[in-house]
Structure 1
Amino acid sequence: MTIKLLAIGKTDNKNLQSLIDEYTKRLGFYIKFSLEIIPDIKNAKNLSKKQQKQKEGELIINKLNMSDVLILLDENGKQLDSIEFSNYLQKHMNSGIKQLVLVIGGPYGFSEDVYNKSNGKISLSKMTFSHQMVRLFIIEQLYRGFTILKNEPYHHR
Structure 2
Amino acid sequence: MIKIVAVGKLKEKALRMQIEEYEKRLRPFTKLEIIEVPDENAPQSNSEAENEIVKDKEGERLLSKIKDGEYVILLDLWGEMIDSIAFAKKLESIQIYQSPNITFVIAGSLGPSKDVVKRADYRWKLSDLTFTHQMTRVLVLEQIYRGYMIQHHNPYHK
Classify the TM-score, shorter chain: over 0.9
Q: Judge conservation of contact 1:86–1:146 (CA < 8 Å) in 2.
A: yes
Q: Who is 1:29 aligned against?
A: 28
| TM-score of the two chains, using structure 1 as the length reference | 0.93
Structure 1 runs (4+) deviating above 3 angstroms are: 43-47
Distance in 1 separating the partners of 2:71 and 2:52: 25
Deviation at 1:44, TM superposition (A): 4.4
Work out which of the residue numbers 116, 119, 126 in structure 1 matches 2:118: 116
The one-letter code of the counterpart of 1:87 is: K
Deviation at 1:29, TM superposition (A): 1.5
Q: Who is 2:129 aligned against?
A: 127
- DSSP-derived class of the 1:101 partner: strand
Identity within the alignment, % = 38
| TM-score of the two chains, using structure 2 as the length reference | 0.92
Deviations 1:17-49 (A, max 9, x none): 1011101111121111111111223x5449621
Q: Who is 1:57 aligned against?
A: 59
Deviations 1:56-95 (A, max 9, x none): 0110111111111111000111111111110010111111
Q: Judge conservation of contact 2:149–2:155 (CA < 8 Å) in 1.
A: yes
The one-letter code of the counterpart of 1:50 is: E
- DSSP-derived class of the 1:37 partner: strand
Work out which of the residue numbers 77, 83, 86 in structure 1 matches 2:79: 77
Distance in 1 separating the partners of 2:9 and 2:27: 21
Q: Who is 2:70 aligned against?
A: 68
Q: Who is 1:89 aligned against?
A: 91
Q: Judge conservation of contact 1:70–1:119 (CA < 8 Å) in 2.
A: yes
Q: Judge conservation of contact 1:67–1:98 (CA < 8 Å) in 2.
A: no
Structure 2: which 5+ residue stretches go unaligned? none
The one-letter code of the counterpart of 1:128 is: T
Q: Who is 2:17 aligned against?
A: 18
Q: Judge conservation of contact 1:69–1:119 (CA < 8 Å) in 2.
A: yes
